[in-house]
Structures are given as C-alpha cells and as structure tokens.
Structure 1
Amino acid sequence: MFDIGFWEIMVISVLGLLVLGPERLPVAIRTVSIWVKTIKDAANSVKDELSHELKIQEMHDNLKKAEQQGMNNISPELQDSIDSLRDAAASVTRPYADVKTPTSTSKSAVEDRPENVEQAIEQDKK
C-alpha cells in the first residue's frame, strides 16, 4: 500500500527511538496502531453501509421496473427483489399490526396481509 521497504522501516525506527526515547516509543507505537485500527474500522463500516444502501437502491429500481411492466411477465431477478422487499415491509409493519400474525417472514405471511405490505412499499417510495 505505502511501498515501504525494510530499510525505510529501519530508518523510521531509529529516528523514532532517538526522538522519543526507549520509554515513550512503545506507547507511541501502540497509539499509532490504535489509530490505524480505528480508521480501518470506520472505513469498513462506511463501505458496508454504502453496499447496503446500493442494494436497497437496486431493489427499489427493480420494483419500479416491475411496476412499469404491470407485475406480469417479470424476470426472476425482479421477482426475487420484489419478494425480498415484501418480506422486509412485512417484518417492519408486523410489530405495529393490531392483528396477531405469524412471526416468520415467509411468503405466506406476506400474502396474508397484502394491503399492509403494499401500503408500506408505497410509504417507502415517498
């Protein structure tokens, strides 16, 4: 990544030892390693969030395509996206429903209350 060779590391180590001294050098190394770990964790977190948001956007785009096709003769990829969106909408609306429903997010649970699922998808679009 930084293209640092063995001799560059040796020069940095000797300079660090001379500047900081043998007492403070281990503490400085630990502090720098903690900073690097924190930065890597933050970068991975941002990457995961962006990946999740892109997946959600792709699902919404697929749903729009399916709606434009009238929900008839849609590709299996679009059907999978629609099913996963319905499952997600059902899991979000289920805790707030007055009627007791099954706790699984199976397709049958989604089909039991299609009006709530469709309303949740419409609200999500807005």
Structure 2
Amino acid sequence: MLDIGFWELVIIAVLALVVLGPERLPSAARSIAKTVRNLKQTANNLKSELNHELRVSELHQQLKEAEKKGMQGLNDKENSAIKELEEAAAEVNQGYKNLVNENSDKSEKN
C-alpha cells in the first residue's frame, strides 16, 4: 500500500519528536493509532456490507431466472439460491415472532 521504508519511518519519528516534543508525542501516537484503527474497522465494515449486497443481488438474479423457468427444471445454483432465501425468510419470521411475543409479554406485565 504505502512504500515507506525503515529510514523514512525513523525520519518521521525524529521530526515528530522535534515538532511535538516528548510530552505530547505519546498522546499524538495514541491518537494516530486510534484513527488508523477506526479507518480499518470502517473499511472492513464497508467491505462486508458490499459483499453482502453482492450476494443479495446474485440471489435475486438467480431467483428471477428460476421464476422465468416457472420454478420447474431448476439447476443446482437456482435450487440452492431458493433454499438459502427460504432459510433467510424463516429466520426473519422467527425473529419477528420472538419480538411480538416479547412485546406482548411486556404489555401483559404493565
């Protein structure tokens, strides 16, 4: 990614020490480390969301193909896509039922 060698890092460290001084250098290093950590976390979250959206798009396309065939004579990819979508729908329905049950229990207590 960045082509920074050992000596470039040494020069940056010396300049930071001279500019910031020994009192503020540790807090500046912590601040930079926290910022880099947050950037990495944001990039990983973005990457996982993008992968998820690509998978949803792929499943949607396979479902369209299955619907064009009238849900008959489907290939393995289309069958697996339908199965995965049915499992996801069952999970969502189960979560909804749990939420409704929790809310009704809370309202009965009040």
Confirm or deny a common fold (TM above 0.5): yes
**Per-residue CA shift, 1:60-95, capped at 9, x if unaligned?**
110010010111111111100001111211222345
Give the share of equivalent positions with the same residue, in percent: 47
Provide the C-alpha distance between the structure 2 equivalents of 1:69 and 1:29, rounded to a whole number of angstroms: 60
The one-letter code matched in structure 2 to 1:30 is R
1:25–1:78 CA distance, 2 compared to 1 (3 A):
same
| Counterparts of residues 69-108 of structure 1 (less than 5 Å) | 69-94=69-94
SS of 1:26 mapped into structure 2: helix
Q: Provide the aligned C-alpha RMSD in A.
A: 1.3
TM-score, normalising length: structure 2: 0.82
**Which structure is higher in helix share?**
2
Structure 2 residues without counterparts, runs of 5 or longer: 98-110
Greater relative contact order (Cα < 8 A, sep 6+) = 1
Residue in 2 aligned with 1:3? 3
Structure 1 residues without counterparts, runs of 5 or longer: 98-126
**Per-residue CA shift, 1:84-118, capped at 9, x if unaligned?**
11121122234556xxxxxxxxxxxxxxxxxxxxx
Provide the C-alpha distance between the structure 2 equivalents of 1:79 and 1:11, rounded to a whole number of angstroms: 59
